[in-house]
Structure 1
Amino acid sequence: MSDVILTNLLLVALCYLLGAVPAAAWVARARGVDIRTVGSGNSGATNVLRSLGKGPAAFVATFDIFKGVLAVTLARLAGLDHEWVALCGVMAVVGHNFSVFLRGRGGKGVATSFGTVVTLSPAIGFFAFVLAIFTMWLTRFVSAGSIIGAAAVLALLAFSYMVHLPPPWYGTAALTFLALLLIWQHRDNITRLTSGTERRLGDKA
């Protein structure tokens, strides 16, 4: 194995560990709460909001977004090829969703995915974010906004190919994977949304 590939793999592993840092679980633990046993059980900002309030949730959301931004930025600063940069961003989200610090559990990756997507493709990330926030405001369902945001990423990618201005293949692969992963992570929410049992923004755990 060449030194370049070894360095790249080490950075990919580092980005996974960065993403795996469970801010929600650690913030909750500092307040005497095991985030895995309250609300949805997810280690994410939405569950922190329902369990601990707006302040801790804002901190966790900002930290989780920063994980995605930092993973991509570190890879770029290290001079990695674009394909490896995209992989580092993806691995930060994978780390968040399946954290080694939480025995493979984690959050749903909304904030970290946003940080990664907006750093890899600012235009797609911005428009997806606007649609997600509008959906959350309109419906008061965080899950619905997250799913719509992920679907918007896929739609914008499809549109970019229709107008013959697609991102490079590695960008398409990374964004498609992240969008599909986010939708998959919300499969239980989709069931609750269709059955009318999903909790709205502001509901307490």
Structure 2
Amino acid sequence: MSAGTVLAWAAVVVAAFLVGSLNPATMIARLLGKDLASSGSGNPGATNAARVLGRKWGVVVGVLDVLKGLVPAFVAGHWFGGAHAAYAAGIAAVLGHIWSPYLRGRGGKGVATTLGALLGVHPWVALVVVVVFAVGVALTRWVAAGSIFGSLAMLVVAVLIWTGHAPGDVWTGLWLMAIGLLVLARHKNNVVGWWRQRHLTDET
């Protein structure tokens, strides 16, 4: 790999990270005179935006968050002509959303941006994740549960790829595993809260 190619890859990754770092939820909330950090769950993402600003604004934020993952992954994949660049750009955008330098290291949980990255590289995986997410929300009436189920679906697809039961190579599986675990880790508090609530319910 030439020095020019390395620099180009680095530029793509940095650009994707900075695009992912832009936080539409916080920007729109400020324009509307709201502070998401001190409202609702405090999370600067689409779900909390819908809770605090209204469903319409939640949808707008969700679409913009999806585009933050879709555009870098799609452009990088077509610019370099391969999936590996798209993987790097996609995960960089998700990391930027989660740990935004514009928000001093804070950020959302990465669900919508992950969906965008999937759409930019493997739309069929994105479809699987959306279906599982929708079923999870329908069964539990809880968006976080849908996100957790969707992340688990990515891990399952990764295993299916590694065992030859789904199309893709080892890098595809590794990417899906990494991005799925990343989103799962961001929902750790949701899982802990659910477990504690269930434990208290069982005791009473």
Please, what TM-score do these two structures have when normalized by structure 1? 0.90
Structure 1 segments (4+ residues) deviating >4 Å? none
CA-to-aligned-CA distance 1:9-36 (integer Å, 9 cap, x gap) = 0111000011011100001111111111
SS at match of 2:174: helix
Structure 2 residue aligned with 1:184: 185
Deviates more, 1:97-106 or 1:118-127: 118-127
Q: How many matched pairs?
A: 197
Taking only the aligned residue pairs, the percentage that are identical comes to 32
SS, match of residue 196 in structure 1: helix
| Cα distance change, pair 147–8 in 1 and its aligned pair in 2 (3 A) | same
Q: Who is 1:200 aligned against?
A: none
Q: How does 1:143-158 map to 2 (within 5 A)?
A: 143-158=144-159
Residues in 2 aligned to 1:78 and 1:101: alpha-carbon distance in whole angstroms: 27
Partner of 1:201: none
The answer to whether 1:56 aligns with 2:72 is no
How far apart are the structure 2 equivalents of 1:10 and 1:163? 34
- Summarize deviations over 1:41-88 as a string: whole Å, max 9, x none: 111000111111101100000000111110111102322543222110
Q: List alignment gaps of at least 5 residues for structure 1.
A: 198-205
Q: Does the 8 Å CA contact 1:25/1:35 hold for their aligned counterparts?
A: yes
Counterpart of 1:111 in structure 2: which amino acid?
A
Instruction: Please report the TM-score for the alignment, with normalisation by the length of structure 2.
Output: 0.91
RMSD between aligned residues: 1.6
Is there any run of 5+ residues in structure 2 with no aligned partner, and where? Answer: 199-204
Task: State the alpha-carbon separation in 1 of the partners of residues 99 and 161 from structure 2.
Answer: 31
Counterpart code for 1:116 = A
In the TM superposition, what whole-angstrom CA distance separates every residue of 1:120-169 from its partner, at most 9, and x where no partner exists? 22222211210111111221111100000000111122123334545123
- Whether the 8 Å CA contact 2:158–2:172 is kept in 1: the answer is no
Higher RCO (CA < 8 A, seq sep 6+): 1
